[in-house]
Amino acid sequence: MKTFIPSAQEDSRSWFILDADGAVLGRLASKAAKMLMGKHKPTYTPFLDTGDHIIVVNAEKVRLTGAKENDKMYRRHSGYPGGLKESAAFKVRAERPVRMVELAIAGMLPKTKLGKQMYRKLKVYAGPKHPHAAQQPTATAV
């Protein structure tokens, strides 16, 4: 018996909407990452991108548990000496709420070319509106 390996023609990509309103950031991110990788499908193959497109709406209303709103730090480096920049979660939420969700999901994807390909299928919006109505996305519970 031969091992089944899905081809690009056989694989159909669906579109799903995840509503982040009141959802815990980590739980939302793990669900989205799982669907981007295709682990929810019976045709999952680790070395192929068999995942679906994910639309996350209401990213500004995502919830952090405990004292993470003040304690969690987002760090980036400019590449120059002394170029470390830090921002607390409440500041990142005020300036760019979409970035919080994107970073959480990207951190759960593979750190390879395949992971970058999966990340491109993620669309995050701060409010409830999105421009992907033509794709007829299915609403999914978080």
Tens of pLDDT along 86-125? 999 999 999 999 999 999 999 999 999 999 999 999 999 9
Answer yes or no: is 8 within a domain. Answer: no
Residue 132 domain-assigned (yes or no): yes
Backbone angles phi, psi at 112, to 5 degrees: -135, 180
Q: Which residue has the higher pLDDT, 4 or 22?
A: 22
pLDDT at 8 over 80: no
Q: Are 89 and 69 in contact (CB under 8 A)?
A: yes
Longest CA–CA span in the chain (Å) reads 58
How many alpha carbons fall within 13 Å on the CB side of residue 2?
3
CATH number of the domain enclosing 95:
3.90.1180.10
Burial of 66 (0-12, 13-18, 19+ CB in 10 A): exposed
Which domain does 38 fall in, by range? 15-65+91-140
CA distance 78 to 45: 36
Question: In this predicted structure, what is the pLDDT of residue 6?
Answer: 85
Residue 80 lies inside a defined structural domain of this protein? no
Say what the pLDDT of residue 71 is. 97
Asked if residue 19 belongs to a domain, the reply is yes
Read off the pLDDT band of 142 (50, 70, 90): confident
Q: Distance between CA 33 and CA 35 in Å, rounded?
A: 5
Question: pTM for this structure?
Answer: 0.92
pLDDT at 120: 97
Binned at pLDDT 50, 70 and 90, residue 28 comes out as very high
Instruction: Please write the tens of the pLDDT for every residue from 37-95.
Output: 999 999 898 999 999 999 999 999 999 999 999 999 999 999 999 999 999 999 999 99
Calpha distance 51→26 (Å, rounded): 19
